[in-house]
């Protein structure tokens, strides 16, 4: 089955939903393709405190409000796992894994990033049995238990703080002797009695009893000495990779897989755009993602209508 649109947006996170608002409001026949729940990483975020005009809200609520707005002007919301995008000149073809294809005059890719795995023994086997990449999703399962957070960036520290409302103790493991997180976030965990920071160590392997996680083995970066922490949960937050495998047939990615775009969020393939965390840029935030989506959709509108 093949369907035609003016604009197809791949991904329904903040960037995709913003593009949906601008595209459909401008009168373009618009569709959002998403393989999961709308909202992207917003639905995994406990608290949003840097969205202008709202001092504090939970991510799921903001995602819900955005989604309602994103379809208010007629944009269609479609389920689909995209496996390729083909540049046919005036028309682009978006192919999904079930064989469904869509044609559009413009395509905005807003698929965001995927959490990076530790790639150590015991990790993959224990996903869902104590290994989790979403504290907001799974934190409540670890009430009065010890957990380990791997990573020293903003996400790691924010999730560690969130976990303290459930866990009896939260260990934060970092490879260096300093955090990468913003100072304000570091300050927010500094005096929390439930948080224990382990510096200059890296995860070596995850332990289990055949049914669930029982601990993690860490290795000292300098001495190579090993230590074991008994715990029930492990939350890796060591970075993210762009979800762009389906674009590898196009010359629009940098060496790390991020989309290369110009000031209009357009790639070297005319009519194919990138928006949000998936593009090469310095700051990846909800507010910058929505900006990207608006810019891409507005430029696509002008190009389609020949303005």
Strand pairing class (213-220; 146-150): unpaired
Q: What is the CATH number of the domain that holds 295?
A: 3.50.50.60
Same domain, 110 and 259: yes
**12: closest CA among 28, 23, 3?**
23
Distance in angstroms (rounded) separating the CA atoms of residues 264 and 127 = 39
Is the overall model pTM greater than 0.95, yes or no?
no
For 182, half-sphere exposure in the C-beta direction (CA atoms, 13 angstrom radius) is 7
Q: Which of 58, 65, 134, 208 is catalytic?
A: 134
Continuous H helices in 91-244 = 135-138, 154-163, 183-190
Question: What does the pLDDT profile of the chain (307 residues) look like in tens digits?
Answer: 569 999 999 999 999 999 999 999 999 999 999 998 999 989 888 778 889 999 888 889 999 999 999 999 999 999 999 999 999 999 999 999 999 999 999 999 999 999 899 999 999 999 989 999 989 888 999 999 999 999 999 989 999 999 999 999 999 999 999 999 999 999 999 989 999 999 999 999 999 999 999 999 999 999 999 999 999 999 999 988 999 999 999 999 999 999 999 999 999 999 999 999 999 998 888 999 999 999 999 999 999 999 7
Same domain, 155 and 177: yes
Same domain, 140 and 73: no
Distance in angstroms (rounded) separating the CA atoms of residues 167 and 301 = 49
Same domain, 162 and 85: no
Q: Which of 6, 138, 277, 292 is catalytic?
A: 138
Same domain, 186 and 121: yes
Same domain, 207 and 142: yes
Query: Looking at 194, 217, 236, which one is the last position of a domain?
Result: 236
Strand partners, 227: 218
- Is 231 catalytic? The answer is no
Query: Looking at 236, 262, 279, which one is the last position of a domain?
Result: 236
Same domain, 67 and 167: no
- Is 138 catalytic? The answer is yes
Rounded to the nearest 5 percent, the helix, strand and coil shares of the chain are 25, 30, 40
Same domain, 264 and 218: no
Same domain, 69 and 176: no
Query: Looking at 216, 236, 256, which one is the last position of a domain?
Result: 236
Identify the domain containing residue 99 by its residue range: 2-114+240-305
Distance in angstroms (rounded) separating the CA atoms of residues 36 and 258 = 21
Residue 213 has phi, psi (to 5 degrees) of: -65, 135
Q: How many distinct structural domains can be found in the chain?
A: 2
134 burial type by CB count under 10 A (0-12 exposed, 13-18 middle, 19+ buried)? middle
Q: Which of 97, 98, 121, 137 is catalytic?
A: 137
Same domain, 189 and 293: no
Two tokens, residue 169 = 């103790």
Same domain, 246 and 102: yes
Same domain, 83 and 70: yes
């Amino acid at each position: 089955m093949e369907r035609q649109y003016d604009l197809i947006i791949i991904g329904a996170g903040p960037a995709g939903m913003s593009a949906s608002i601008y595209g459909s409001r401008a009168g373009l026949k618009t569709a959002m393709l998403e393989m999961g729940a709308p909202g992207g990483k917003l639905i995994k975020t406990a608290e949003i405190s840097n969205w202008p005009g709202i001092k504090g809200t939970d991510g799921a609520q903001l995602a819900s409000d955005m989604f309602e707005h994103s379809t208010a002007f007629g944009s269609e919301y479609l389920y689909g796992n995209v496996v390729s995008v083909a540049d046919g000149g005036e028309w682009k073809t978006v192919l999904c894994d079930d064989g469904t294809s869509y044609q559009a005059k413009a395509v905005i890719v807003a698929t965001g990033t995927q959490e990076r795995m530790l790639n150590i023994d015991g990790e993959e086997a224990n996903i869902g049995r104590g290994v989790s990449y979403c504290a907001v999703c799974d934190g409540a399962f670890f009430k009065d238990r010890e957990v380990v957070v791997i990573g020293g960036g903003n996400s790691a520290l924010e999730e560690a703080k969130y976990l303290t409302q459930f866990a009896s103790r939260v260990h934060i493991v970092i490879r260096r002797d300093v955090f990468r997180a913003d100072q304000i976030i570091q300050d927010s965990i500094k005096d929390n009695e439930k948080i224990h920071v382990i510096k200059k160590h890296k995860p070596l392997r995850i332990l289990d009893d055949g049914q669930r996680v029982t601990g993690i083995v860490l290795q000292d970066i300098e001495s190579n000495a090993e230590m074991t922490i008994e715990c029930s949960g492990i939350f890796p937050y060591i970075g993210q990779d762009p979800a762009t495998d389906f674009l590898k047939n196009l010359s629009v990615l940098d060496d790390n897989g991020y989309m290369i775009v110009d000031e209009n969020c357009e790639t070297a393939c005319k009519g194919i755009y990138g928006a949000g965390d998936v593009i090469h840029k310095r700051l990846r935030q909800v507010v910058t993602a929505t900006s990207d989506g608006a810019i891409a959709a507005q430029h696509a509108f002008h190009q389609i209508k020949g303005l």
